[in-house]
Homo-oligomer: A and B are copies of this chain.
Amino acid sequence: MSDSQPDGSGVVFEDPDYRLAVVDLLGVIAYGELSAFESLVDDAKLAPTVRDKVEMAAMASLEFGHVARLHDRIRELGSDPFEAMAPFERAIDLFHAHTAPSDWNEGLVKAYVGDGLAADFYREIAAYLDAETRDLIIASLDDSGQAVFAVRHIRQAIDDDPKLSGRLALWGRRLMGEALTQAQHVAAERDALSALLAGGIDRPGLDLAAIGRMFTRITERHNERMAEVGLSA
């Protein structure tokens, strides 16, 4: 077969449902990174110093750098990246519209929690994919110190003003709730993605119990992240 890859991923792409699901997945990740880029640049305006602003803008730029590689892969799979992103624009735009930070600390928590949640979710799904797609997705989740930067600043802010922790803990719960709401909308509307999770003839899938365990793991990691900065989840 002319289109099979050395790693055998050409074989799985002969299944049109699989190809469609991977294009969907790369589309949602690409639009997610594009939106994260815009939202981080916006939130960087809340930075107390130009130095902090530059650090957040650097994280934003890194997210944007991933978009081009995801688009290239979507084109290799024979689809248009902008068409692939389109079905996810509404849910992701709504997530950001509903979670606009009102100050720098909320922006930091959003960068930290939002990026972490997205990365956990995509990593869970990537485990069910061909090696090439999996590697691309894992590489596109590299946050280059975003978490370290956020953790240091959030901890410092809470040390300086312990009253902050109640408000930021609530904010973290709101971010988690909004992310789950939008993820459910996407799952309900995108059959290809749901089918991917359900598996195929040659691919193991997730039954309902396995999906339940996956969400439990994602929630546990969210709680660990909140605890890491001294916030109750």
Contact surface of A with B, Cβ cutoff 8 Å: 31, 34, 37-38, 41-42, 44-45, 49-51, 53-54, 57-58, 60-61, 64-65, 67-68, 82, 85-86, 89
Contact = CB atoms under 8 A, between A and B. Distances in A.
A54 B37 CA distance: 11
Contacts of A64: 57-58, 61
Chain A's interface: helix, strand, loop or mixed, by majority? helix
Nearest to A64: B61
Given A38-B44, A58-B64, 12 more contacts: A34-B50, A37-B41, A38-B41, A38-B57, A41-B41, A41-B60, A49-B82, A50-B82, A50-B85, A54-B67, A54-B82, A61-B61
A54 B34 contact: yes
A82 B49 CA distance: 9
A7 B65 CA distance: 34
Contact of A45 (B38, B45, B60, B68): B38
